Amino acid sequence: MSQSPRLPVSTLAVESYRAFKQVNDTLAESPLGSQLIDLIFLRVSQINGCAYCVDLHARDLVRQGEDMQRLNSLVTWQEVDFYSPRERAALAWAESLTHLPERGAPEALFRALKEHFSDKEIADLTVAVALMNAWNRLGVGMHLPVKRAELAKG
């Protein structure tokens, strides 16, 4: 894999890139909390195969104290009981919107969200999923590189 992107989108599409970052910043203030948002960002990035975003959000979750077994099992979240009903509803919604042509946005998933989230949180969650899908298209399309990090010993 290349260690440099195809194009430096952040410097070529400055205003658009800045707008994406502003949406990201508003989500940081969401009542959803950064851990759930990063969990959603990671799952969407796994589905889309964005190596840069998978690495980024997995490391963000580790910094926030996320359990490694939950992190490793995120791709199989439906098969394990490591995730709360609230997280499961959010993950199902995120997967549905990420696989939009195949799955749509079923009413049953929306009703499940309503059991665990306020209308504001559902709106923020939906924006987060849309944003991550957009970021993934930039990451995959431009081949954003993942740099090997020093692993913490201990």
DSSP 8-state symbol, 47:
H
SS (H, E, C) 87-112: HHHHHHHHHHHHCHHHHCCCHHHHHH
Question: What average pLDDT does the segment 74-98 reach?
Answer: 98
Measure the CA–CA gap between 26 and 124, rounded to whole angstroms. 9
Is pLDDT of 2 > 70?
no
Q: What is the pLDDT of residues 10-42, one digit of tens each?
A: 999 999 999 999 999 999 999 999 999 999 999
The pTM of the whole model exceeds 0.85:
yes
Return mean pLDDT, the chain: 94
The Cα–Cα gap between 130 and 98 comes to 8
92 neighbors 112 (Cβ within 8 angstroms): yes
Confidence check: pLDDT of 153 > 60: no
The tens digit of pLDDT for each residue in 98-109 reads 999 999 999 999
Structure token digits, residue 17? 């890139």
pLDDT tens-digit map of 124-134: 999 999 999 99
Does the pLDDT of residue 154 top 80, yes or no? no
- Give the whole-number percent of the chain exceeding pLDDT 70: 96
- Tell me how far apart the alpha carbons of residues 140 and 111 are, in angstroms, rounded to a whole number: 32
Least confident range of 80-84, 98-102, 116-120, 146-150 = 146-150
**Averaged pLDDT, 47-61:** 97
Q: What pLDDT sits at residue 150?
A: 73
pLDDT of residue 4: 87
Tokens of residue 105, six digits: 């946005």
Give the residue from 47, 36, 16, 59 showing the smallest Cα distance to 116. 36
Nearest residue to 47 (alpha-carbon basis) of 22, 23, 68, 78: 78
